[in-house]
């Protein structure tokens, strides 16, 4: 029996951390759909046409070590705005969401486009400043030389692009549980998500 949890939200809001913890708690499979777009973006930066890269995406491409780099992050947002790229990746995501035993998918259009019939939809968000601080610390820990101001500008530009795109814009599903993690610890955010999902399982 399938049970789908759709978790959406902007960059650095905490949806990836929450999704992994939720999947582990309930014993569900987990898919970070952003990695699909990052893999396509990385191949585009290697010289591939983004639509061709999406159509020929292989699970091995998700194992690249540069998928979290700033260059790939920005390119991923751009390729995600290409309707043909999104169409090429939809079937893969929907099949994953319908798998037996339960699945958690996190991204930007899971609850609105990929799995609109998901049993649970969460929209994880946080203030621009909090998200920028989180991402800056993450990048600094990885040795990336940047400033909080630069990261904030990049996050705001990505939010603008993701929310304004014609195909599957970033927005909460009408029936999504909105989880603002700005003032939450990781444990508090995970607990709130688990509670929301548990309510729907009863």
CATH number at residue 160: 3.40.50.300
pLDDT at 188: 98
Residue 77 maps to a domain: yes
pLDDT exceeds 90 at position 190: yes
122 touches 202 (CB < 8 A)? no
Residue 152 maps to a domain: yes
Q: Which domain holds residue 168?
A: 4-196
* For range 39-67, the mean pLDDT: 94
3 touches 201 (CB < 8 A)? yes
* For range 133-159, the mean pLDDT: 92
Residue 202 maps to a domain: no
Q: What percentage of the chain has pLDDT greater than the value 70?
A: 100
If one counts the domains in the chain, the total is 1
Residue 115 maps to a domain: yes
pLDDT exceeds 90 at position 58: no
Separation of CA 77 from chain center: 11
Q: What percentage of the chain has pLDDT greater than the value 90?
A: 79
pLDDT at 92: 86
pLDDT band at 54 (very low <50, low <70, confident <90, very high): very high
pLDDT band at 59 (very low <50, low <70, confident <90, very high): confident
44 touches 82 (CB < 8 A)? no
Give the tens place of pLDDT for each residue, 64-120.
Answer: 999 988 899 889 989 988 999 999 999 889 999 999 999 999 999 999 999 999 999
* For range 18-40, the mean pLDDT: 96
pLDDT at 1: 78
Residue 50 maps to a domain: yes
Residue 137 maps to a domain: yes
* For range 143-172, the mean pLDDT: 91
Binding-site residue ranges: 9-17
Q: Give the relative orientation of helices 70-79 and 34-45 as an angle to the nearest 10 degrees.
A: 100
pLDDT at 165: 86
CA distance 146 to 71: 13
Residue 186 maps to a domain: yes
pLDDT at 200: 82
Check residues 123 and 158 and name the one with the higher pLDDT.
123
37 touches 80 (CB < 8 A)? yes
Binding-site residue ranges for ATP: 9-17
- Residues near 13 by beta carbon (within 8 Å), at least 6 away in sequence: 124, 125, 126, 131, 181
């Amino acid at each position: 029996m399938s049970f789908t949890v759709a978790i959406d939200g902007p960059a650095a809001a905490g949806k990836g951390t929450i999704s992994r913890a939720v999947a582990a708690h309930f014993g569900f499979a987990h898919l970070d759909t952003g990695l699909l777009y990052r893999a396509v973006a990385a191949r585009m930066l290697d010289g591939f046409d983004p639509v061709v890269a999406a159509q020929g995406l292989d699970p091995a491409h998700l194992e690249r070590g540069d998928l979290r780099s700033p260059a790939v992050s920005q390119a991923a947002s751009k390729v995600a705005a290409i309707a043909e790229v999104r169409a090429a990746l939809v079937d893969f995501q929907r099949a994953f969401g319908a798998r037996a035993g339960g699945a958690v998918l996190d991204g930007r259009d899971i609850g609105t486009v990929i799995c609109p019939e998901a049993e649970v939809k969460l929209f994880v968000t946080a203030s621009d400043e909090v998200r920028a601080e989180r991402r800056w610390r993450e990048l600094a820990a990885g040795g990336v030389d940047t400033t909080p101001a630069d990261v904030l500008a990049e996050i705001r530009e990505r939010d603008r692009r993701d929310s304004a795109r014609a195909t599957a814009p970033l927005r909460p599903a009408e029936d999504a549980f909105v989880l603002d993690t700005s003032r939450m610890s990781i444990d508090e955010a995970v607990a709130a998500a688990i509670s929301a999902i548990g309510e729907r399982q009863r």
